[in-house]
Amino acid sequence: MHQHCRPVSQSHAREVAELADEPTSSPPARGSRLDPFVDAYAERARTMIASEIRALFSVASRPEVVSLAGGMPFVSALPLDSIAETFRRLIAERGAAALQYGSGQGAVALREQIAGLLMPMVGVTTHPDDVVVTVGSQQALDLVTRILCDPGDVVVAEAPSYVGALSVFAAYQASVVHVAMDEHGLVPAALREAVDALARQGRRPKFLYTIPSFHNPAGVTQPQSRRVEVLSICSSYGIPVLEDDPYALLGFDGVVPRALRADDGEGVLYLGSFSKTFAPGLRVGWVVAPHGVREKLVLAAEASVLCPSELSQLAVSAYLAEQPWWDQVKVFRELYRERRDALLDAMASQLPAGTTWTVPDGGFYSWVQLPQGLDATSMLARAVTARVAYVPGSAFYAGAAKDLGRSFLRLSYCYPDPDRIREGVRRLASVVCAELELFATFGSSSGAGGAVPGHGGSASDVPGPATA
Amino acid sequence: MSGADVRVVVLAGGLSHERDVSLRSGRRVAEALRANGADVTVADVDAGLLATLAADPPDVVVPLLHGASGEDGALRDVLGLLALPYVGSVPRGCRVAFDKPVAKTVATSAGLATPSSVTLPQTTFRELGAAAVMAALVDALGMPLMVKPARGGSSLGAAVVRTAAELPAAMVGCFSYGDTALVEHFVTGTEVAVSVIDTGHGPVALPGVEVVPDGGFYDYSARYTAGATEFFAPARLPSAVLQACSAAAVSAHAALALRDLSRTDLIVDAEGAVWFLEVNVAPGMTETSLFPQSVTAGGLDLGVLWRGLVDNALARGAC
């Protein structure tokens, strides 16, 4: 086809054509890093690197891909028209307050609702003064770690644990010691063993970070007897507990598990969130903490954001006051139960023998273990090619422990509808079968490319918040 | 320069593993073109694209898709069907360049040296027994080895293998990205990327960029984490070797019948010999990519260059 092209003349072409004939300038002694800040970064930014795995999630945001990766709540189920009217009146009638700075501790009206309405549901009696409202419970994690952890301090967390918490701990240069879980959550004997082992090294954990109900990513819930045991161990060793409880109201049988905080008001910091029961886009969460901690949290929050969004807080407050929010929680439970069932049925009928998974009683996730020898991290590229995405298990372990997660993956069922979930599992099953064949051929499915040991334990191996 | 309001659609994104890189390349070129008077829209490649292009045809399309369909010529074939002028190589050149083993063969015919290699599909390992095939690979090619998908870019699925024990894991990592692997003798030396542009007077090499990744291997993190790799432009090589690199890249561009722009990746060994590795028809245009650095090192402005390429595409029309 070239012969049909018209000849082209180009004003600066001559100058470009002469480039090759120009004498080569002498190369600089020091190369370019393409980032003038390269020598300016703090040590804590060292693990913040580009990730091959994260790049794959960029494809997961396309509609062709069934994403079982992200944990986006299905907010389309909210009565949006009716919420719009509530928000309209908020601006019309209380706009001057809603659009103004607020208190660093959070709006009083919302703290009263949290203390009077939400906390009793998980068995906790508290006063609005003990509540600090935060920019999602993610900021609460950040603030608590900021005031409790110096670089090198130890945090004990479940194995696996919430990746967003691991990112916070890494940012404050705390080391994480993982403690085993089983189908009933954190194993008390393993906790005692880990703490004893640390004590022999002369170290004491700054706190235990735990998600006792509808765990992310493990999908399991601790029975009450075990909660008592965990509290007793922590109390006997003098270890504070950071209880992360965003899914508490989303149990499928309607039972709201009793919070650890309910049985130890002094030793437990409780994190709550409106992100799963209402709207993550508003970024409203909270901490309930003993008074000394609470005062430091407020000062830390003011240094961080001055105050949480007053508009978001008043919007949540108005939603709780004016909308049938509890009925909506029941709608969400039913919706997520239906999706969980779709996931479990599809896994049972499609995934090859040797694959196992947890059966969640609430929340968003099931934790899947691949047949022996398979590696979920190196399998992800194949999965994305097959138009299905998940989060590889190693994302939920910190640092050197990442390898413990390589045979696992997290599947979330909160966002896609049941038919999409079934299609996603069908695609995943074909990927697992192909990977089994690779394993049979090579005797290993651990890829050398990409996120391998030595990769630095970057918490960037997970989808961004908006990638579902 | 033609009319100041040339209407350009930059295609970026797509469904390949390199979607993220492509989106970044697209944003950068779009900004550079806008700064040079073009009216630019960035579009993803999806089921709605052709209808959009047909309903409101742009003057010129700039495909900045990395990985399959964007780089293998398929999408450009479709642009040809729509009679839309576009910047870059025609489909035939894309197909050859995107298939690394075929590109190596063409480069060899053009007189370039390329590391000895073998291309094998996954089925070969299964049918003949992986251990035996891998042992034969090690015997024939010698350590160290470079394992990479026969098609694809951004070093996704690629690994350097220094001991035979590392080979199975490298093969598995590679087959996760594609079902055919290129296993190549790894030539130790200086990594140099030479960008070639043709603004209407034949292909010209821009100064070669030397790549020195902190971790020793130019993997995905080293490529896209700002600061993780040190670049020298021009490369710290004797001028005769630099000229040999430029000549190799121009030969590759010509031998593969590429158009407008390309980037050839080379290794210069300890003796100063230049080895051809691969050539890219849609080189990355991100903040940390090599092509824009070559442009700057050549004393050119990325936006002015791209505007020139767009104007040329407009002038030559759909072909």
Q: What is the DSSP string of B39-90?
A: EEEEE--STTHHHHHHHS--SEEEE---STTTSSSHHHHHHHHTT--BSS--
Residue A447 confidence class, pLDDT cut points 50, 70, 90: low
Q: Which residues of B touch A5 (CB under 8 A)?
A: 316-317, 319
Nearest CB among A13, A41, A448 relative to B199 is that of A13
Q: Chain A: residue nearest B172 by CA? A: A447
Q: Hey, where are the domains in chain B?
A: 7-95+307-313, 97-113+188-301, 117-185
Residue A406 has pLDDT above 70, yes or no: yes
Closest Cα of chain A to B274: distance in Å?
18
The answer to whether the bond into B91 is cis (omega within 30° of 0) is no
In a 13 Å sphere around the CA of B200, the CA atoms on its Cβ side amount to 22
Q: Per the CB < 8 Å rule, is B204 touching A11?
A: no
pTM: 0.89
- pLDDT single digits (tens) B247-263: 999 999 999 999 999 99
Q: Which of residues 188-227 of B touch A (CB under 8 A)?
A: 197, 199-202, 204-207, 210, 212, 219-221, 223-227
Q: Per the CB < 8 Å rule, is A6 touching B19?
A: no
Residue B109 has pLDDT above 90, yes or no: yes
Strands of chain B, DSSP E? 7-11, 39-43, 60-63, 117-121, 145-149, 159-161, 180-185, 189-197, 204-205, 209-213, 229-232, 261-269, 274-280
Nearest CB among B204, B223, B235 relative to A27 is that of B235
**Percent of chain A residues topping a pLDDT of 70:** 88
Per-residue model confidence (pLDDT) at position A463: 66
Span of A149-158, A426-435, B4-13, B233-242 with lowest mean pLDDT: B4-13
Question: Stretch A415-419: mean pLDDT, rounded?
Answer: 97
Q: Which of residues 104-123 of B touch A (CB under 8 A)?
A: 122
| Contact (Cβ atoms closer than 8 angstroms) between residue A276 and residue A162 | no
**Percent of chain B residues topping a pLDDT of 90:** 81
The answer to whether the bond into B234 is cis (omega within 30° of 0) is yes
Per-residue model confidence (pLDDT) at position A458: 47
Q: Which residues of B touch A392 (CB under 8 A)?
A: none
Q: At what angle do helices A418-442 and B167-175 cross, to 10 degrees?
A: 150
Q: Which residues of A touch B124 (CB under 8 A)?
A: none
| Contact (Cβ atoms closer than 8 angstroms) between residue A393 and residue A405 | yes
In a 13 Å sphere around the CA of B268, the CA atoms on its Cβ side amount to 26
Nearest CB among A37, A51, A381 relative to B177 is that of A381
Mutate one of A4, A8, A467 to test the B interface: name it (highest B CB count within 10 A): A8
Domains with residue ranges and CATH for chain A: 52-77+326-442 (3.90.1150.10), 100-322 (3.40.640.10)
What the block records as the tokens of A167 is 């990112």
For domain B7-95+307-313, the CATH class is alpha beta
Classify residue B25 as left (phi > 0), alpha (psi -120 to 50) or beta: alpha
CATH 3.30.470.20 fits B97-113+188-301, yes or no: yes
Nearest CB among A24, A49, A63 relative to B228 is that of A49
Q: Per the CB < 8 Å rule, is B221 touching A52?
A: yes
- pLDDT single digits (tens) A230-240: 999 999 999 99
- pLDDT single digits (tens) A241-281: 999 999 999 999 999 999 999 999 899 999 999 999 999 99
Nearest CB among A19, A49, A448 relative to B170 is that of A448
**Helix, coil or strand: residue A186:** strand
- Residue B266: C-alpha distances to residues A402, B116, B276, B279 (Å): 35, 14, 5, 9
Q: Per the CB < 8 Å rule, is B231 touching A32?
A: yes
Fold match flag (B7-95+307-313 vs B117-185): no
- pLDDT single digits (tens) B264-312: 999 999 999 999 999 999 999 999 899 999 999 999 999 999 999 999 9
- Average pLDDT of chain A, as a whole number: 90
| Contact (Cβ atoms closer than 8 angstroms) between residue B216 and residue A29 | no
- The CATH code of the domain at B117-185 is 3.30.1490.20
Mutate one of B123, B172, B220, B224 to test the A interface: name it (highest A CB count within 10 A): B172
Q: Which amino acid is at A459?
A: A
| Contact (Cβ atoms closer than 8 angstroms) between residue B11 and residue B61 | yes
Q: Which residues of A touch B249 (CB under 8 A)?
A: none
Mutate one of B221, B231, B287, B295 to test the A interface: name it (highest A CB count within 10 A): B221
Q: Per the CB < 8 Å rule, is B17 touching A384?
A: yes
Question: Stretch A329-347: mean pLDDT, rounded?
Answer: 98
Question: Stretch A449-459: mean pLDDT, rounded?
Answer: 38
CB pairs under 8 A between A and B: 218
- Residue A118: C-alpha distances to residues A5, A21, A107, A320 (Å): 72, 75, 15, 10
Closest Cα of chain A to B126: distance in Å?
5
Q: Is B288 on the interface with A (CB under 8 A)?
A: yes
